[in-house]
Structure 1
Amino acid sequence: MQRHRIDPRPDWQRIVEEQGLVYPLTRYPDDSLRPYWDESAYYSFSLAEVEAMEDTVEELHELCLEAAEHIVANNRLRELGITDPGLAALVRRSWWERDRQPSLYGRFDLRYDGTGPAKLLEYNADTPTSLLEAAGPQWFWMEDRFPGADQWNSIHERLVEAWRRQAHLLAPGPVHFAHSRDDVLGEDQLTTAYLLETAQQAGLATVPIAIEDVGWDSLSRRFVDEQLRFMRTVFKLYPWEWLASDAFGGHVVDTADLGGGAGGTCWIEPPWKMLLSNKALLAILWELNPGHPNLLPARLDGPGDMTRHVAKPLLGREGAGVLITDGTGAAPRPDEGERYCWQEFAPLPDFDGNRTVLGAWVVDGQAAGLGIRESAGLVTDEYARFVPHVILDRTDSAG
């Protein structure tokens, strides 16, 4: 694994916008615009590195499924903050019936610097973003810059095939694709639109909708769209914990279709993904697999004897609320009322002042590709940059 500098392609912004990445720039708090898509650099990997990471990702996915089974079998949902009896019952039933429910994708965030085993930082299994840029624009960048080279990237093909393979699990009617209008950065809207496109390529009928426009028909006791059509299957880029706690959250829980065409709404991702998208999973993984080379020590009852640790809110996103104790100063105080997972601090590798995290994609249960984000600080947040990669088993680089 190496980081290289390279001249951006002429007119790069127009190119990636035409490929669907309509927010290639990020607005910072000082109102300045800086590249989110950053092709002034790229990362190279050997084929052996990528093959090893593929194996790691698929093993981690299996470990996560085993941990989910353990959570349900041992009634540990309260440790994840799932305390509402109705929601807990839905998650358990969803897990038991998981083979009858469509489940599309997820993203493992990994620490890897090319010298040791990749370490799991977290699993974004419910509403991961940065998908389109990994699937499309970075592939086209590679074809422009490294004709004939390769990339860890079968994301698009696997997504289309996943829709085809799981089409028989979908309820009758079109698939609605929902995101929130409160998405000020545009990531959720872009990701939802891209996934809608992959479903269309698989031959499915689709309908876009804002989550705020989803209605409830009290007579039929069904969710409806703006045209009063029943919403039988919904892909939602909207976290389950928000969906279940909104004004109509009780209806979501009561009418969730977990397979068999019961007449309610089939949600993608399904409720059982709440078991994997929660940071408590990290502690349970370590408890079940202590010393595993791809895991970091983690616990739910405080940092214990870890002098360097990261406190992660169980349901935090985009690095929000993460507290780092690196052993050099006073430890930050956790917020009262917030539930955390404490994980051993493993600083992101520093490549010329760029802190790098690898986002390894899983589609339909299989490793599918890689997206890389860089940040200036220790936490990868909404101001991170996306940097493309290529597989090179040679020493030359593009100019």
Structure 2
Amino acid sequence: MRRTTLVPRADWQARVEALGLVWHSLDGQLYWDESACYAFTTAEIAEIEAASAELYRLYLAAGEHVIAEGRLGELGIPRPAWDAVAAAWEAEPPALNFGRFDLGYSGDGPPKLFEFNCDTPTSLLEAAVIQWDWKQAVFPMLDQYNGIHEALVAQWQAIAPLLGGGPLHFAHMADLAGEDSVTVAYLRDTAEEAGLVTLAVEMAAIGWAHGARRFVDGADRAIDSVFHLYPWEWLLAEDFAPMLVESLATTRWIEPIWKTLWSNKAILPILWELFPGHPNLLEAGTRPIGGDQVAKPLFGREGANVSIRWGDKVVAESDGDYVEQGWIYQRFHALRDFGGGYPVIGSWLVDGVPVGMGIREDGLITGNTARFVPHVIDGWGGGQAARGFQVSTRQT
């Protein structure tokens, strides 16, 4: 694994905007950064892929344990939703079952799990589309660990027969930066490529039809199936949470409510409890664990309210709005500084299978100003296919 400095394409802004990445810069700072790239050997990609598959296995085991032992309350799941979560876990309703493992990896030791973003993961468009387009333009003879787009389309095709004949709604909150809206628009494109009929709806426009006991969109159309880029912990905290649980009998929510088992950091201490010393896990607890550690809020996002503590000294911390949710403490894992920041590997899964990755760089805490830096695989030479990996076969 190495970082190489490059000259950005002269028209890179227009190119990424044409593909939908409208938030390529933030407050004058680059988010999409093609002035560098990371290069990996096939062996390193194999290690990341294998670790991701192994971590998914651990999460399955942890989910089974939480359900069997009745530990849903430890995950901050409201009591009225417990039965619904357990029922969905057993029934496995239609889902993309996608997400992003954030991993610490520098090529000199096993990948270490920081957290799993599996309910409303972002940085998807840039991982699936933008960096692939960059690679095709800049390094056409090399490959990339990137079958994300194809996997999403294939999964929509797989679950389409389970969604009924009505349109699939795509719901999100309006956001000034455009990240959520464009992420949903991209996922909607993948669903339409799979042959599904889709409709867009803002979360604020969704209403409850008391007579029909159904959620409806702004045009009073019944919502039979809906993809929501709006986290379950927010949904279950709304005034309509009782109706939401009731709606599970008639509405297919993607991702399903069982994702609450995995979508908060309280699962990390449970993973360590079940698999202590596992090479892909970091020690974690619900109380301070001593030594060098990281304090994280249960439902924090974009690195908000995180603090890094070396002994009794706080060496880095971030602001945010998640201070009242409770905390977990995770062993600090030092990332290698490649000269442009500390890279975090975002390893993507679809239907529980590793399919590609993206890389973000930042300081000690990876926040919403982190840069996204593309990658290539160049460890075998000659531009031949990396057999066994989820590399893309699309034509551009």
Residue 66 of structure 1 is matched in structure 2 by 61
Amino acid paired to 1:52:
E
- The 3 A distance-change label for structure 1 pair 395 and 199 is closer
Cα separation, partners in 2 of 1:312 and 1:9, compared to 1, 3 Å: same
Q: C-alpha separation between the residues in 2 aligned to 1:351 and 1:185?
A: 29
Change (3 A) 1:324 1:152: same
Q: What letter matches 1:51 in structure 2?
A: A
**Match for residue 106 of structure 1?**
99
1:218 maps onto 2:210 in alignment? yes
CA contact (8 A) 1:240 1:271 kept: yes
User: Would you say 1:351 and 2:351 are equivalent positions?
Assistant: no
User: Closer, same or farther in 2 for the Cα pair 1:62/1:277, shift >3 Å?
Assistant: same
From 83, 86, 94, the equivalent of 2:80 is 86
Deviations 1:232-251 (A, max 9, x none): 10100000011111122221
- Equivalent position amino acid for 1:229 in 2: R
Amino acid at match of 1:281: I
Aligned AA (2:34): E
Is 1:268 the equivalent of 2:254? yes
For residues 269 and 224 of structure 1, the distance between their equivalents in structure 2, rounded to whole angstroms, comes to 18
Residue 111 of structure 2 corresponds to residue 118 of structure 1: yes
In structure 1, the partner of 2:296 is: 312
Aligned to 1:48: 43
Distance 1:152 1:199 in 2: 22
**Counterpart in 2 of 1:75?**
70
CA shift digits 1:138-176 (9 cap, x unpaired):
011111111121100000000000000111222431110
Task: Tell me how far 1:20 sits from its aligned partner.
Answer: 1.6
Matched with 1:261 is none
**Contact 2:348/2:356 (8 A) holds in 1:** yes
Counterpart selection for 1:342 from 323, 329, 345: 329
Q: Which of residues 356, 371, 378 in structure 2 aligns to 1:369?
A: 356
Counterpart secondary structure, 2:145: coil
Alignment match, 1:20:
20
Deviation at 1:331, TM superposition (A): 8.4
CA distance in structure 2 between the aligned counterparts of 1:278 and 1:364, rounded to whole angstroms: 19
Which residue does the alignment assign to 1:388? 374
Partner of 1:7: 7
Work out which of the residue numbers 284, 287, 294 in structure 1 matches 2:273.
Answer: 287
CA RMSD in angstroms comes to 1.9
Aligned to 1:303: 288
> Residue in 2 aligned with 1:249?
241
Q: Distance in 2 between matches of 1:158 and 1:331?
A: 40
* 2:185 maps to 1:158: no
Aligned-partner Cα distance in 2 for 1:215–1:167 = 25
**Structure 1: which amino acid aligns with 2:354?**
A
Structure 2 residue runs of 5 or longer lacking an equivalent are 383-396
Q: Distance in 2 between matches of 1:79 and 1:17?
A: 42
Letter in 2 for 1:368: V
How much has 1:278 moved relative to structure 2?
1.1
Counterpart of 2:330 in structure 1: which amino acid? Q
Residue 200 of structure 2 aligns to which amino acid in structure 1? P
Q: Which runs of 5+ in 1 are unaligned?
A: 28-32, 258-263
Q: Is the 8 A contact 1:161 1:202 kept in 2?
A: yes
Q: Does the aligned pair in 2 maintain the 1:171–1:266 contact within 8 Å? A: no
Instruction: Kindly state the Cα deviation for residue 270 of structure 1 after the two structures are TM-superposed.
Output: 0.3
The answer to whether 1:185 aligns with 2:177 is: yes
Matched to 1:36, the amino acid is: Y
Normalised to the residue count of structure 2, the TM-score between the two structures is 0.92
Deviation at 1:395, TM superposition (A): 8.7
Measure how far apart 1:104 and its partner are. 3.4
Paired residues, number: 380
Q: Tell me the distance in 1 between the aligned counterparts of 2:323 and 2:352.
A: 37
- For residue 362 of structure 1, give the secondary structure of its aligned residue in structure 2: strand
Preserved contact between residue 42 and residue 390 of structure 1 (Cα < 8 Å)? yes
Aligned to 1:37: 32
Q: Could you tell me which residue of structure 2 aligns to residue 30 of structure 1? A: none
Contact residue 276 and residue 283 of structure 2 kept, 8 A: yes
How far residue 336 of structure 1 moved from its aligned partner, in angstroms, is 7.2
Report the 3-state secondary structure (helix = DSSP H, G, I; strand = E; otherwise coil) of the residue aligned with 2:34.
coil
Match of 2:223 in 1: 231
- Superposition deviation, residue 53 in structure 1: 1.1
Return structure 1 stretches of 4+ with deviation > 3 angstroms.
330-338
Percent identity of equivalent pairs:
49
- For residue 148 of structure 1, what is the amino acid of its counterpart? M
- Larger deviation: 329-338 or 104-113? 329-338
Preserved CA contact (<8 Å) 2:45 2:145:
yes
- Distance verdict in 2 for CA 1:331–1:71, change over 3 Å: farther
Structure 1 residue 97 corresponds to structure 2 residue 83: no
d(CA) in 2 for partners of 1:34 and 1:243? 33
Aligned residue among 122, 129, 133 for 1:129: 122
Change (3 A) 1:332 1:395: closer
Equivalent residue for 1:260?
A: none
- In 1, distance between residues paired with 2:164 and 2:89? 18
Deviations along 1:200-229, whole A, 9 cap, x unmatched? 000000001111111111110101111211
SS at match of 1:245: coil
1:343 Cα shift? 0.5
1:365-387 superposed Cα distances (whole Å, 9 cap, x missing partner)? 11010110011x21111101110
